[in-house]
Chain A
Amino acid sequence: MPAGRTVSIRVRRFDPAAGGRRLWQAYDVDAGPMMSVLDALFWVLENEDPTLAFRYSCRAGMCGSCAMVINGREGLACARRLERLRAPVTVEPLRSLPVIKDLLVDLRPFFEKYRAVDPFYIGQAASVFDPASEPAVLPRGDAAREIVDRQIDCIACGACYSACPIVSIVPEFLGPAALNRAYTVAADARDAAGVERLHRVTADGGVFACHSVGNCVTVCPVGVDPLLSIQLLRKGAVHR
């Protein structure tokens, strides 16, 4: 291990067994080169505190399991390098979601809202068996696909949901990720769904509850612009 340096991190802890109090706990992490916040949390777990709880999977910015609030701002713990963060580095669980333990939040409310927009593609009845049949022929760079292609890479990490002030004060607001998905699937030229999905996103808690604050755009770890999707839905840019 190359010679490291010590980086202080302060973790917002919550132990359901200890009366539900949320306390800050500080650790001095032996930080090697290129270590991320996620690496630092593992260091704590493995060397200092076997009770620390957090969520992880891919460690490469692809799965969205480790979104949390780092130095006051949402991000993926695996994608934020200690070297580029002001110390002490503060780490808190996502906002507007129930905390299970420490940095582990219950994402069910987030996914319930995601589900509420009917996020699934509905295909035409094309044959999948006929080798001659070709899925939709859509030229590369087709204008209809251009925005969808940019917005479709959402990894449903919950960062935008946590950063959105409307989510925190309007409980029925569907939030940026769900509305972004509603746009990308509705604007998919191949999708065969009717107008129901659009009715849902323009009803209470839908796109008109958004105040265009734009935190969702700032914090998105994969460069999606949920606000643009919301604006396009508001303008009725998707026709059925």
Chain B
Amino acid sequence: MTSPWETLRCDVLILGSGGAGLMAALHAYDAEPRLRIVVASKGLIGKSGCTRLMQGGFNAALDPGDSPERHFRDTILGGQFLNDQELAWALVSGAPEVIRRLETRIGVFFDRRPDGRIHQKAFAGQSFDRTVHRGDLTGIEIMSRLHDQLFARDIRRLDETRAVALLHDRPGGRVAGALLLRQATGEFILAQARAVVLATGGGPRMYTFSAPSLEKTGDGYAMAYRAGCDLMDMEMMQFHPTGLLAGASRLSGMVLEEGLRGAGAHLLNAQGERFMARYDPERMERATRDVVARASYLEIMAGRGTAAGGVLLDASHLGAGFVLDNFPGMARRCAEVGYDLARAPVPVTPTAHFHMGGVRIDPDCRTAMPGLLVAGEDAGGVHGANRLGGNGVAESCVFGMRAGLTAAELCASAGEAAPDTAEAEAAYRAATAPLGRPVVSRESGDNPFAIRDALQRTMWERVGLVRDDPGLRRALDTIGALEERISRAGAPADPRANLTWQQVLDVQNLLVAARLTATAARYRTETRGSHARRDYPARDDARWLVNIHQAAGREPWPEPVRLSRLAPGDAERVAPA
């Protein structure tokens, strides 16, 4: 049989083109310009992914009154001590350098204070105003400039080319490449690489309301899990408190940025009460996202939500001029669907926003699988049980850079290894199986869109902001039934630009991420950060200062958190123990 794919050999293969992917590509290249670097992205390079959607900003301890130690403390307290503290330290200690790098090498320009230095604004859960930003659409500036820099370097781009599987070498001891699919033509590429950087972004699109870009469907988690990686903290799903409610539009769930609450916007229930007074009277709307999102959810569940099923975000008392000057992007977004953010309350809902869990890495982005590096949302451990606003893009950029540098280093020593073609053939057969099977209607059976909708409902209702054992068990049963159904789903036979086919592959991956999430959520019988159990409402440090790990072919297992720099109750300690 002739190969059903073309082959490609490179040194560094980067999967994903958000902040992590492009930082990896640029820094691997700058470390060693002779490397053959390939960036493959499910969407258009520089456009897809969530870094671009990032609004509020980037946390970095730049001010002399601030410090990485202080940023670290906020990050660990926000994460409720579940963070891998060495990863968190790598984040906070690397963030200032990355900001300087973005400004002086990449060309990003952040907003300035009146004295001409970089402005930093207030974000929830932080003891210092340390969020660097460009207006309220910071991600567009970072991504556009990173993308511009690609043009200055000899880096091969594969736009709209998703990875369908990571591939091992024949002995199976390391990752040696990936099977790629060009979505426009339906052609496959067997890519061999000395280092693979997985940076596809997590993307909790398995919930009814979710914030990420539409193409983010847990692809990285699913590929890493199938390839034998260890994933941790998958129960830790962040819900952002203020997702816009936009009728029947997919715009619903898109975030209205945290800076609004930082600047003093209120959250009101349908009766006009500032309900945060009941949940966190001290911090009110500036409490961390887990607390505020859960409070909104409980208000809605208690029947105090609006007719549209949400609560209200009210910035009108800040003054229309202030809102329009400081949040023009948010005001535009609201105006598009008929809301006036500057003058009236806007309906919002908690929205699945960010997966703290992911592949276990070390501070250089290495995994247990030689040849595979992971950066950004695909990685776990940096944020623990809850991520602070402004730490997400910081993670993508800091660890993306580190992954690029590590990849360049690996290439200096790693030999070439050919991917196992039998593994590639199996992945090819699995990926192409839906082609030509009948596409049944949504009502009558195994339609991929109907399966996605059913998954989203189940996750929202049973693996959402408040969970319990019976609900999680039912969710896992439903996920099992949906796994069956997706294995029968069909797509038109022509593989070219076949969105239905891509949807089948997407839902397969969403189901992997969903199962990992629900399984870990059932395992953790306490409430911590983003994970709230109705049947175990208290945080239990005596028993649950552990991370829950999962890998294919074995039961989930706990590992104690290493409190190497800070333990609950510590006043000062941050230097490594």
Contact = CB atoms under 8 A, between A and B. Distances in A.
Interface string B27-69: 0000000000000000110111100110000000000000000
A239 interface: no
A54 B214 CA distance: 13
B213 to A, nearest CB: 5
Interface string A134-170: 1111111010010011001111100000000000000
B574 to A, nearest CB: 17
B337 interface: yes
Interface stretch (A118-126, A202-210, A211-219, A226-234): A118-126
Contacts of B569: none
Interface in A170-206: 181, 185, 188, 190-191
A65 B250 contact: no
B5 interface: no
Interface string B78-119: 000000000000000000110111011111010111111111
Interface string B112-148: 1111111100000000000000000101110011011
A129 B96 CA distance: 9
Contacts of B499: 45, 50, 52-54
A19 interface: no
B47 A128 contact: no
A46 B442 contact: yes
B368 interface: no
A34 B252 CA distance: 10
Contacts of B149: 120-121
A18 to B, nearest CB: 10
Contacts of A61: 332-333, 336
B151 A138 contact: no
Nearest to B449: A46
A52 to B, nearest CB: 7
Interface residues of B, number: 67
A39 interface: yes
Interface in A42-90: 42, 45-47, 50-65, 78-79, 81
Contact of A1 (B116, B117, B248): B248
A102 interface: yes
A115 interface: yes
Contacts of B152: 118, 120, 122
A124 B107 CA distance: 10
A133 interface: yes
A33 B245 CA distance: 11
B249 interface: yes
B48 A65 contact: yes
Q: How large is the interface on A (under 10, 10 to 19, 20 to 34, 35 or more residues)?
A: 35 or more
A78 B140 contact: no
A118 B48 CA distance: 22
A62 B54 CA distance: 10
Contacts of A133: 100
A45 B441 CA distance: 11
B319 interface: no
B509 to A, nearest CB: 17
Interface stretch (B272-280, B488-496, B530-538, B540-548): B488-496
Contact of A34 (B103, B117, B337, B441): B337
A43 B333 CA distance: 22
Contacts of A129: 97
A55 B250 CA distance: 14
B513 interface: no
A4 B46 CA distance: 36
B250 A59 contact: yes
B248 A35 contact: yes
Contacts of B497: 53, 100-102, 104
Interface in B227-246: 246
A36 B492 contact: no
Given A51-B494, A156-B144, A60 B53 contact: yes
Interface string A102-117: 1010010000001100
B498 A35 contact: no
Interface in A1-49: 1-2, 4, 16-17, 31-36, 38-39, 42, 45-47
A231 to B, nearest CB: 22
B362 interface: no
Interface in B147-163: 147-149, 151-152
Contacts of A81: 336-337
B249 A35 contact: yes
B248 A39 contact: yes
Contacts of A124: 104
Given A47-B442, A79-B336, A155 B148 contact: no
Interface in B306-339: 332-333, 336-338
Contacts of B114: 139-140
Nearest to A36: B249
Max chain B C-beta neighbours (<10 A), residue from A56, A124, A135: A135
Nearest to B99: A135
Instruction: List the 10 closest pairs (A to B, CB-CB), nearest first.
Output: A121-B107, A32-B248, A34-B247, A33-B247, A135-B103, A137-B116, A53-B497, A50-B500, A101-B497, A46-B449
21 contacts: A1-B248, A33-B248, A36-B249, A39-B250, A45-B449, A56-B215, A57-B48, A62-B52, A63-B48, A65-B47, A65-B48, A120-B149, A127-B100, A136-B103, A137-B116, A140-B114, A152-B141, A152-B144, A153-B140, A181-B148, A185-B148
Given A128-B104, A188-B107, 15 more contacts: A34-B251, A39-B250, A51-B492, A51-B500, A56-B214, A57-B43, A57-B47, A60-B251, A63-B52, A81-B336, A118-B151, A126-B104, A131-B96, A133-B100, A188-B109
Interface of B: 43-44, 46-49, 52-53, 96-97, 99-101, 103-107, 109, 111-119, 137, 139-141, 144-145, 147-149, 151-152, 184, 213-215, 246-251, 254, 332-333, 336-338, 439, 441-442, 449, 491-492, 494, 496-500
